[in-house]
């Protein structure tokens, strides 16, 4: 049985947001065993309360309709300008996205969006079947995301697990993400991002970018991915940028990564093109600079013979690419593995397959 409680949620939020608890954390709890059907909802700050905890024990589900997107809404549940927000529990957030996927809508709709929420902590919840990306983190700093389960079918379009943009000091920890697109996507304006202990698959792997969409000056730096497992993913660890753009992606590391029959395990692509957008051709000049990227202790199997793909721009190229202790062997229906390089510079030691372009 569904509980229709939009007004109740709004009233409860108003009460806790305006609470003056003398520095104590104010808590809003949804009970176990109940399912709440919610139309698009915005929890708006800033709040008087110094810290707010939302303990989700039940299930939040989205309307089984795409009609509300026609009103210009691009998020289902949004928190904006709320500092020191803790959202945790063992409940579920179900975006019921199948109707969106079937409608082939171009609109990007996030199930759960955080904008300008500093000191955010998100823990323990299960996120299901978002219309598009499950969780979006934008303009936030000092964020900890941990112990999540995110799930959507492999064929569901654009159902990223976690999207990060214009944010700094974000940690994604000990989570299981199985989606139809990137498990984690690190987008422009992001820095000091740490991803540790994530199990990804199915999905498109862990991606930086795409950067430079629309001609923007985009930057990403200090991204560190460690102790992650990628199972039957379309890509492994990837950096993707559009041509003819400016900016940089630098000081990036992928360490202790385990691959299980992942296609395209290691990719740098400075020739990226969005398949959903018309392109008039490959531009020849200008690129987002990619430098100081380290791959170390990466092992497992590839579902594609082209296991390492370093396609760097013909003019700018990629600098200080370091590979060490790489062991990617053929997986199911893959007779061998090899490397493709274009204008990549750096060093490679103890790599399988060999990376001859890195001296």
Whether residue 200 contacts residue 170, with contact meaning beta carbons closer than 8 Å, is answered with no
Q: How far apart are the C-alpha atoms of 70 and 72, rounded to whole Å?
A: 5
Cα 179 to its chain centre, rounded Å, is 11
Q: How far apart are the C-alpha atoms of 117 and 125, rounded to whole Å?
A: 18
| Of 164, 166, 255, 239, residue with least CA distance to 204 | 239
Whether residue 197 contacts residue 175, with contact meaning beta carbons closer than 8 Å, is answered with yes
204 is catalytic: yes
3-state secondary structure of 325: strand
Q: How far apart are the C-alpha atoms of 218 and 11, rounded to whole Å?
A: 40
Q: Considering the candidates 113, 204, 224, 345, report the single residue annotated as catalytic.
A: 204
Q: Is the dihedral of CA 166, 172, 175, 181 positive or negative?
A: positive
Q: How far apart are the C-alpha atoms of 241 and 244, rounded to whole Å?
A: 9
Whether residue 80 contacts residue 110, with contact meaning beta carbons closer than 8 Å, is answered with no
Tell me the catalytic residues: 204
């Amino acid at each position: 049985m569904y509980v229709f409680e939009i007004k109740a949620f709004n009233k409860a939020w108003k009460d806790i947001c305006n609470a003056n608890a003398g520095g104590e954390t104010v808590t809003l709890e949804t009970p176990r065993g109940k399912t709440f059907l919610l139309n698009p909802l915005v929890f708006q700050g800033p709040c008087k309360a110094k810290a707010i905890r939302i303990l989700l024990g039940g299930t939040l589900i989205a309307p089984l309709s795409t009609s509300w997107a026609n009103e210009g809404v691009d998020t289902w549940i949004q928190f904006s300008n709320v500092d020191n927000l803790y959202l945790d529990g063992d409940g579920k957030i179900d975006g019921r996205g199948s109707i969106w996927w079937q409608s082939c809508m171009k609109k990007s709709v996030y199930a759960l969006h955080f904008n300008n929420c500093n000191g955010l902590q998100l823990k323990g919840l299960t996120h299901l079947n978002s219309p598009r990306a499950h969780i979006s983190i934008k303009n936030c700093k000092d964020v900890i995301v941990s112990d999540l389960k995110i799930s959507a079918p492999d064929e569901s379009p654009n159902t990223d697990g976690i999207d990060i943009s214009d944010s700094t000091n974000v940690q994604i920890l000990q989570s299981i993400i199985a989606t139809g697109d990137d498990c984690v996507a690190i987008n422009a304006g992001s820095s000091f991002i740490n991803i540790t202990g994530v199990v990804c698959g199915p999905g498109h792997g862990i991606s930086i970018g795409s950067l430079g969409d629309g001609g923007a000056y985009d930057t990403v730096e200090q991204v560190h991915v460690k102790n992650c497992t990628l199972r039957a993913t379309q890509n492994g660890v990837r950096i993707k940028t559009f041509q003819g753009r400016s900016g940089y992606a630098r000081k990036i590391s992928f360490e202790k990564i385990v691959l299980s029959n992942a296609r395209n395990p290691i990719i740098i692509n400075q020739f990226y093109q969005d398949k959903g957008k018309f392109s008039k051709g490959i531009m020849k000049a200008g690129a987002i600079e990619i430098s100081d990227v380290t791959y170390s202790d990466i092992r497992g199997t590839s579902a594609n013979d082209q296991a390492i793909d370093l396609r760097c721009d013909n003019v700018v190229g990629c600098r200080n690419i370091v590979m060490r202790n790489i062991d990617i062997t053929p997986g199911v229906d893959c007779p061998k593995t090899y490397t493709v390089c274009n204008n990549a510079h750096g060093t490679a030691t103890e790599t399988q397959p060999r990376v001859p372009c890195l001296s």
